[in-house]
């Protein structure tokens, strides 16, 4: 029960952070409008409290919101289950379907993860002090390919799964127009592997938004070699951000 209360407090805090700033929401809409048009299908992998779902809905998209954590699934259903353009999938995404273990950070469930490597990388890392994954649960896992078979071809996929991004992309074999994935400076090798996977899938242009800035770092789209160099050299204090990849 005590851990449940900690999670509830953390969810409320996340709601304040991710829904409380109108200027941030407007910036998010401007960013995603480059990829999403009314009627388009979008996959939100790692939907968390659904702030990206809200943005995609404001842009008129149909959304498949994917989230394995029960607390956030309940919240997403409360916020979006009555919307005909939103489908909620209570699963994790990986390179193959099955059952996987999820490590829960009750005080900061935003960084709960199915990646043990992510937890090991965070332990003792500057900027990650005080993070503890004290519980675990089993969750079903599917793949992007199977999600596409179930719901159709998306125009955009957003991936934010705390160190499991490469595994998610390994479960995609079909070309799409654009996607984003989160990177952290404690796991640069995961981001570099994601770039390699994107190149193999036919993505050729890249850009980056740091943290929750909703603003691209580079004035122009850059190629795979340049984004790899940037990810290798960016300072540790940058902490995290999202890489955007566009095909063609």
| DSSP string over 216-236 | BSSSS-B-HHHHHHHHHHS-G
pLDDT at 237: 95
**Kind of pairing, strands 203-210 and 240-247?**
antiparallel
Residue 128 to residue 231: CA distance in whole angstroms: 19
pLDDT at 5: 60
Structure tokens at 66: 């994917």
Report the pLDDT value the prediction gives residue 2, as an integer from 0 to 100.
44
Q: Using CA atoms, how far apart are residues 7 and 3, in angstroms rounded to an integer? A: 6
CA pair distance 142, 94, nearest whole angstrom = 6
Q: 2-247 has which CATH code? A: 3.40.50.150
- Pair of tokens at residue 163: 């160190």
Residue 6: per-residue pLDDT: 67
Q: Give the CA-trace dihedral at 241, 8, 87, 43, to 10 degrees.
A: 10
Q: What is the DSSP string of 52-98?
A: HHHHHHHTT-EEEEE---HHHHHHHHHHHTT-TTEEEE--EE-SS-E
pLDDT (tens place) for every residue of the chain, 248 residues total: 445 666 667 677 767 767 777 889 999 999 999 999 999 999 999 999 999 999 999 999 999 999 999 999 999 999 999 999 999 999 999 999 999 999 999 989 999 999 999 999 999 999 999 999 999 999 999 999 999 999 999 999 999 999 999 999 999 998 899 999 999 999 999 999 999 999 999 999 999 999 999 999 999 999 999 999 999 999 999 999 999 999 97
Cβ atoms 56, 36 nearer than 8 A: yes
Q: Domain ranges in the chain? A: 2-247
Task: Extract the runs of DSSP E, i.e. beta strands, from the chain.
Answer: 41-45, 62-66, 86-89, 92-93, 98-104, 135-142, 156-159, 178-184, 203-210, 240-247
- pTM higher than 0.85: yes
């Amino acid at each position: 029960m005590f851990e449940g209360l900690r999670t509830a407090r953390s969810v409320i805090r996340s709601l304040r952070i991710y829904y409380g700033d109108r200027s941030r929401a407007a910036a998010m809409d401007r960013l995603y409008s480059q990829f999403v048009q009314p009627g388009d299908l979008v996959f939100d992998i790692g939907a968390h409290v659904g702030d990206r779902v809200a943005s995609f809905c404001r842009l008129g998209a149909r959304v498949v919101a994917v989230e394995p954590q029960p607390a956030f699934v309940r919240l997403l259903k409360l916020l979006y289950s009555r919307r005909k353009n939103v489908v909620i999938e209570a699963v994790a995404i990986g390179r193959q379907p099955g059952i996987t273990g999820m490590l829960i950070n009750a005080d900061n469930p935003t960084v709960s993860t199915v990646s043990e490597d992510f937890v090991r990388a965070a332990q003792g890392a500057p900027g990650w002090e005080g993070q503890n994954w004290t519980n675990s649960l089993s969750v079903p896992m599917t793949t992007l390919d199977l999600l596409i078979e179930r719901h159709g071809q998306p125009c955009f996929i957003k991936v934010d799964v705390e160190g499991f991004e490469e595994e998610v992309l390994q479960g995609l074999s079909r070309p799409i127009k654009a996607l984003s994935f989160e990177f952290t400076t404690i796991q640069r090798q995961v981001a570099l592997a994601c770039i390699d996977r994107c190149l193999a899938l036919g993505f050729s242009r890249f850009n980056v938004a740091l943290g929750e800035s909703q603003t691209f770092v580079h004035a122009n789209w850059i190629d795979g070699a340049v984004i790899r160099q940037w990810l290798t050299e960016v300072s540790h204090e940058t902490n995290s951000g999202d890489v955007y990849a566009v095909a063609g």
